[in-house]
Amino acid sequence: MSESVSICVIGSGYVGLVAAACFAEMGHQIVCVDNDEAKVKTLREGGVPIYEQHLPELLAKHRGTRIQFTTNLAEAVHRSEAVFIAVGTPQGQTGAADLSYVEAVVSEIARAISSYKVIVEKSTVPVYTNEWIRRVLHRHGVGSNLFDVVSNPEFLREGTAVSDFMHPDRIVVGAGTERAIELLRRIYSPLTEGKYYTRPESLPGACSAAQPAKLLVTSAQSAEIIKHASNAFLALKISFINAVANLAESVDADIEDVAAGMGLDKRIGMKFLRAGLGYGGSCFPKDVAAFHWVAQQKGLNFQLLEEVRRINDAQRDVFFNKVRAALWTLRGKRLAALGLAFKGDTDDIRESPALDVIQRLIAAGAHIAAYDPAAMERARAVLPASENLSFASSLYEAAEDADALLILTDWAEFANIDLPRLDRALRFPIVIDGRNLYAPEKMAEHGFTYVSIGRPATYNEQQGKPKSAIL
């Protein structure tokens, strides 16, 4: 294993906690800092505040040896060679990223610096944030010889973040000095030199000793733009395929066939060509907005990004209208809603299309019985209390005597439903699938009316519903 580096990670959210665990797994010494004393206490005692595959195992493996948790930022900075900033950058009212948490942390770092540190932006930030960090440090009297600022954006998917970190498509380092670049090379050398992948207990993935992770060195400004541009492009792919899905459905084409035909083109690829309810989560909505805001500040009309957002918002209207058309009226209807998180394999409900659809249905007078494998507790905390909302302990309990079943999140559990059992539970065999988890032919064979995104609907004639009523 390469030489260990002492690292301070500030922030124990999705990015910070995953980064801390993965750096420890590489062999480095980590101090993870958070100002939330309750969260730090939970982490010290073995708790894991987020749902993420492999994360509990890595934290259990390295807690107390390679990972320490603390609220003392000054001491953590003093002990570390590299300081990774992984605090939140929420979207402000104008669309710009709110960098107040970053500024507050940098001010604290400034008061703790007494020897050379590499300060690393790990949070998603707009271009030129590196320059503002530099200015804040100077304003607090920190000499230029005591620090370098590096941009090292994360490209993690919630649900597979640990695997993405250890088997990255690329590691981007935006830095202006060889001294800073060399430290980041040392930090990532277990991955870029392939040594980590030779370990018997290494996590499996796309990289290997023969094909190690790739490191790209750029300017800090380029690295900052790479992050926003990457997320905006992925959001564009989602909005594009949803726009095509609406066209395909109007001419009785099948969007799954269309996406497969497009994705086989190596220049396009299959990833993110899944029609559905649109994107959500903590990254895409705010990153598209922030990227658009940055362009506006520079006098550029990046209208494409506004259209990406508009199509994404409209997709929720499309699905809501499908539910209403399939059921005629919504008032008094009992609906089983499968999914609360913004996507499968996570408990993150931020900007979740599922929650937006559920709230619209409740406002229309429907009763919702909701179920999610991981996000129930978080959803209870944010959904307004209503006599028309209940939470079920299983998908089959949610479906019991429901007028229809709605699939809102792409959990694997929802793609493997016992269809005969579901049929027995539902009052009417109607499934409205916002994630295209099933083949229409299969659902028809099992006697379901099946409505999905970008595909002709199938319906159960025994229900006595005319075809025109199922959209």
Catalytically active residues, by annotation = 283
Q: Is 116 exposed, middle or buried (0-12, 13-18, 19+ CB in 10 A)?
A: middle
The Cα angle at residue 261 between residues 257 and 266, in degrees rounded to 5: 145
Q: Is 341 exposed, middle or buried (0-12, 13-18, 19+ CB in 10 A)?
A: buried
What is the rounded CA–CA span in Å between residue 258 and residue 280? 23
What is the rounded CA–CA span in Å between residue 370 and residue 394? 9
Contact 426, 402 (CB under 8 A): yes
What is the rounded CA–CA span in Å between residue 459 and residue 146? 69
DSSP of 397-453: HHHTT-SEEEE-S--GGGGG--HHHHHHHSSS-EEEESS--S-HHHHHHTT-EEE-S
What is the rounded CA–CA span in Å between residue 105 and residue 125? 14
Nearest Cα neighbor of 393 from 381, 405, 406, 376 is: 376
What is the rounded CA–CA span in Å between residue 32 and residue 175? 23
The owner of tokens 């959803």 is 379
Beta strands in 48-194 (DSSP E): 67-70, 82-85, 117-121, 147-151, 171-174
Q: Give the length of the chain.
A: 471
Contact 234, 272 (CB under 8 A): yes
Contact 435, 407 (CB under 8 A): yes
Residues 407, 411, 415, 421: what is their CA dihedral angle, to the nearest 10 degrees?
A: -70
What is the rounded CA–CA span in Å between residue 439 and residue 42? 43
Q: Is 266 exposed, middle or buried (0-12, 13-18, 19+ CB in 10 A)?
A: exposed
SS3 49: coil
List, in sequence order, every residue forming a beta bridge with 407; answer none if it has no partner.
338, 433
Structure tokens at 74: 């000054």
Residue type at 123 in one-letter notation: S
What is the rounded CA–CA span in Å between residue 178 and residue 134? 17
Structure tokens at 354: 């599922």
